[in-house]
Structure 1
Amino acid sequence: MAGPGDRAKGRGSLLAISDLHVRHAENGTVVEQLRPESPEDWLLVAGDVGDTIAQVEWALRLLAARFAKVLWSPGNHELWSLPTDPVPLRGVARYARLVELCRELGVVTPEDPYPVWEGLGGPVTVAPLFLLYDYSWRPEGLDTAQAALAEAYRTGIVCTDEYLLHPDPYESRSAWCTARVAGTARRLAERDPALPTVLMNHWPLCREPTRILRYPIFAQWCGTEATADWHRRFNAVAVVYGHLHIPRTTWYDGVRFEEVSVGYPREWRRRSGLPGQLRRILPAPAGLPPTAW
């Protein structure tokens, strides 16, 4: 976290968190306690805020009122179409409604111009991304997406997305992912090349963070090989992600990757630290931050 000297400069910090899952009452209490360190702090929210439109609105409205700027990338939970959600939208239409809601709240989305962080550690282009996954992170020996998915069903390790995350009007989640990756790559290529980036996506951009999953076959719902080099290709000083519910700091090719999820109450209760600790992305922490949080 930022030290007293940083706050005294009055230029704020770029902070991050994800996987708030506010449908759980205890996580809602965690969100209610989140506060900026200074009036100029920005907050990156890397998806899985809630399972319904109303839950997402409640949390982002609260955070937008507290932080100088909030940036959001969708996770898979925001894109779920639950039968209990009064907003019965699916796929692209659901995502469009979430973007519309964020704009009403003043929250930056992946569809908006990428803002430039001018505070401590800047200037840096901050890019919230929405990329999905394409089943390309398969276990060794399973050469096709169909084979990997069949093995997941055989073993009972199946992501709920298969039932609730609809890709309409795309024919599949993989096709939606392909379109998102292509469009996002074009936008990132058009940014100011003189500035480094902070990239935020709900799913990790490279496969390495998934190597420690308890069930490796779950990695097929965690990202795409198409973004494996984006931290180098787009000159990232940091990559922010969630989804795995394994909060930690790692480095790949000298770039800092921050998994910033809160996770479910049953998960964060087992950890020694308090839940909902905002991770400072910029200015970069002095020295090497701990690997596990």
Structure 2
Amino acid sequence: MRIFAISDLHLDYAANREWLQQLSQHEYSDDVLILAGDVSDRLTLLDEAFKALTMRFSAVLFVPGNHDLWITRERVHTSFEKLDAVTKAADEHGVHRDTFRNGELAIVPLLGWYDYSFGAADDYLKSAWADYRACRWPGYDEAALTQFFTEHNPTLSSPSLQDAGQIITFSHFLPRIDLMPERIPDKHRKIYPVLGSNVLDEQLRALGSGTHVYGHSHVNRRVMIDGVTYINNAFGYPSESHFTARELVQVH
């Protein structure tokens, strides 16, 4: 059994949908796919992705990204309702949202959001970042929302992790800001506050994870920091094809 990972499919773009449909229907039949969020903000496209991927892999593991929880093009009133709809779609296709076990190996999804632990959001970011308009979380600010998601994540005492000899974790959001390479220009660092949360790194390390897959940044990278290998394999927008791999990456 091999484990592959990808994130940020953004199936709103025809070129990305074409890539999905051309994936081999035989090559990955014994393998597992980690799908680390941002498939589409359209439920019909999310459904299409789950159907296509579960036909090709023995198991598909998923966490939602911020785009998956946008409500502007769906008949829902809040992003909590959208989360319920995304959850229902995953369950209908047999997509795994909980810890996946294969013998001693455990693959653990970590839900999250951003809580400004990577920096404060300025007025520019609040006007430019689409989540502030496309998501609606009544009664929750970013810190409370991050807590809402992360408090549901497994701990070492969870029954699903008993006797696990090796742990791989994955999230959509970044667990630490130093995963962004030094080469990133200052003008692009303005979005750092909405990339993730330090809580995720605390949680994955408490679990004893040796490998963590993440998405969201569209900056593909594989780097080891303090004993943990962090892997980002974002498919990204068609305009980013000159720097994203736009292919599956084997992580185990």
Same fold at TM > 0.5: yes
Relative to structure 1, the CA distance from residue 131 to residue 235 in structure 2 (aligned partners, 3 Å threshold; closer, same or farther) is: same
Give the equivalent residue in structure 1 for 2:94. Answer: 106
Give the equivalent residue in structure 1 for 2:45. Answer: 55
In the alignment, the residues of structure 1 paired with residue 17 and residue 108 of structure 2 have an alpha-carbon distance, to the nearest angstrom, of: 26
Q: Does 1:17 align with 2:21?
A: no
Letter of the aligned partner of 1:260 in structure 2? N
Give the equivalent residue in structure 1 for 2:29. Answer: 39
- Secondary structure (helix, strand or coil) at the match of 1:183 reads coil
1:125 pairs with one of 94, 106, 115: 106
Q: Does 1:195 align with 2:165?
A: yes
Relative to structure 1, the CA distance from residue 194 to residue 64 in structure 2 (aligned partners, 3 Å threshold; closer, same or farther) is: closer
Number of aligned positions between the proteins:
246
Unaligned runs of 5+ in 2: none
> Could you say which structure has the larger radius of gyration?
1
Deviations, residues 211-245 of structure 1 (Å, cap 9, x unaligned):
54442121111111222333422111210011111
Letter of the aligned partner of 2:230 in structure 1? F
- Secondary structure (helix, strand or coil) at the match of 1:22 reads coil
Relative to structure 1, the CA distance from residue 281 to residue 117 in structure 2 (aligned partners, 3 Å threshold; closer, same or farther) is: farther
Unaligned runs of 5+ in 1: 1-11, 139-144, 283-293
Q: CA deviation at 1:175?
A: 1.0
Relative to structure 1, the CA distance from residue 38 to residue 152 in structure 2 (aligned partners, 3 Å threshold; closer, same or farther) is: closer
Relative to structure 1, the CA distance from residue 102 to residue 188 in structure 2 (aligned partners, 3 Å threshold; closer, same or farther) is: farther
Give the equivalent residue in structure 2 for 1:287. Answer: none
Give the equivalent residue in structure 1 for 2:211. Answer: 238
Identity of aligned residues (%): 26
What RMSD in Å do the two structures reach over aligned CA positions?
2.0
In the alignment, the residues of structure 1 paired with residue 173 and residue 91 of structure 2 have an alpha-carbon distance, to the nearest angstrom, of: 22
Deviations, residues 88-130 of structure 1 (Å, cap 9, x unaligned):
2422221111111111000011xx3x11134xxxx31111221
Determine if contact 1:210/1:216 at 8 Å carries over to the other structure.
Answer: no
Relative to structure 1, the CA distance from residue 263 to residue 272 in structure 2 (aligned partners, 3 Å threshold; closer, same or farther) is: closer
TM-score relative to the length of structure 1: 0.78
- Secondary structure (helix, strand or coil) at the match of 1:251 reads strand
2:19 pairs with one of 30, 37, 40: 30
Q: Does 1:80 align with 2:61?
A: no
More displaced 10-residue stretch of structure 1: 194-203 or 244-253:
194-203
Letter of the aligned partner of 2:69 in structure 1? L
